[in-house]
């Protein structure tokens, strides 16, 4: 593996109206972190949660948070190195596939 991948989870405290009975964005982030750590042990990655209604001062994150709101994307929206790989109820298979593009090897 050549690079520590950055995964971003954009979401909100309130569950998306179309995502009733789904885990919250933060719960999804915790679930992803655990699942990825198990699948790719000893292969570091960074996972960040960004609240779409209170994004950090980083301009790129603010712009994407606004896009989630304006385009009515289903959140949480999961990005791997800036590419959307999951929306609403993200699929591990899609996320794993993207990580493997960066050289991650499953256990």
Which pLDDT tens digit goes with each residue over 48-88? 999 999 999 999 999 999 999 999 888 899 999 999 999 98
* Bridge partners, 78 (sequence order): 9, 86
pTM: 0.91
Tens digits of residue pLDDT in 9-54: 999 987 766 666 778 889 999 999 999 999 999 999 999 999 999 9
What radius of gyration, in Å, describes the C-alpha atoms of the chain?
A: 13
7-49+72-101: in CATH 1.10.10.60: no
Cβ distance 48 to 6 under 8 Å? yes
Residue labelled with tokens 């009975």? 21
Task: Identify whether the C-beta of residue 1 lies closer than 8 Å to the C-beta of residue 105.
Answer: yes
* Domain residue extents for the chain: 7-49+72-101
């Amino acid at each position: 593996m050549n690079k520590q991948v950055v995964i971003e989870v954009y979401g909100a405290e309130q569950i998306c109206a179309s995502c009733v009975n789904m885990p919250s964005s933060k719960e999804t982030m915790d679930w992803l972190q655990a699942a990825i750590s198990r699948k790719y042990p000893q292969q570091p990655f960074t996972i960040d949660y960004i609240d779409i209604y209170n994004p950090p001062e980083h301009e790129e994150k603010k712009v994407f948070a606004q896009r989630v709101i304006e385009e009515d994307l289903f959140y949480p929206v999961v990005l791997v190195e800036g590419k959307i790989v999951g929306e609403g109820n993200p699929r591990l298979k899609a996320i794993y596939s993207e990580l493997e593009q960066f050289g991650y090897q499953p256990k």
